[in-house]
Amino acid sequence: MRSPRRCSRNGCPRQAVATLTYVYADSTAVVGPLAAFSEPHTYDLCERHARSLTAPRGWELVRHDGEFEPPPPTTDDLVALAEAVREAARPAVGAEAPDPPLDRLGRRGHLRVIPPA
C-alpha cells in the first residue's frame, strides 16, 4: 500500500517524506520529518525537494539533519479502499466525460430535457 500524501510541488508525483512549515513571525522556514497529519498551512515534500529547498532572502532555514524516512504503510482497509476509489475516479489526461445516456423520457438524473416545440 502507498501513502496517500504526495509532494506538494506542482507536477511532482513522489511520495512525501518531509513537512515544510513557515514561521512568519521569526522569518524561518522549517523542514522536518513528515507530520502525522496534513495541516492547511504546511507543505509535504519528497526527499529531493526537501533537500534542495532554499529559504527566501533574509530568512533562516532550519532543516532536519537525519534521513527522511517514508511513512510506514497503512493497514487500514478503509484508507486503502478510499485511495483506490480516488485513483479510479481520476479522469484520463485529455479525456472528456461522456454525457449520460438519455432514458426514454429524455431525462438525465434530476434534470429533464425538453424537446423543442
What is the band of 10 on the pLDDT scale with cuts at 50, 70, 90?
A: very high
- 91-112 average pLDDT score: 62
The three-state (H, E, C) secondary structure of 35-72, written as one string? CCCCCCCEEEECHHHHHHCCCCCCCEEEECCCCCCCCC
Residue 71 confidence (pLDDT) above 50: yes
The percent helix, strand, coil of the chain (3-state, each to 5) is: 20, 20, 60
Query: Rounded distance, CA 61 to CA 56, Å?
Result: 9
pLDDT classification of 64: cutoffs 50, 70, 90: confident
The average pLDDT across 64-87 equals 72
Looking at residue 21, what is its pLDDT? Answer: 93
Q: What is the pLDDT of residue 50?
A: 93
- Cell numbers that stand for 89 in this block: 475516479
Going from N- to C-terminal start, the domains of the chain cover: 1-90
With a pLDDT cut of 70, the percent of the chain lying above it is 68
pLDDT at 78 over 80: no
Distances from the Cα of 33 to the Cα of 13, 45, 79, angstroms: 18, 10, 22
pLDDT at residue 2, as a whole number: 47
Average pLDDT, the chain: 79
| 91-102 mean pLDDT | 64
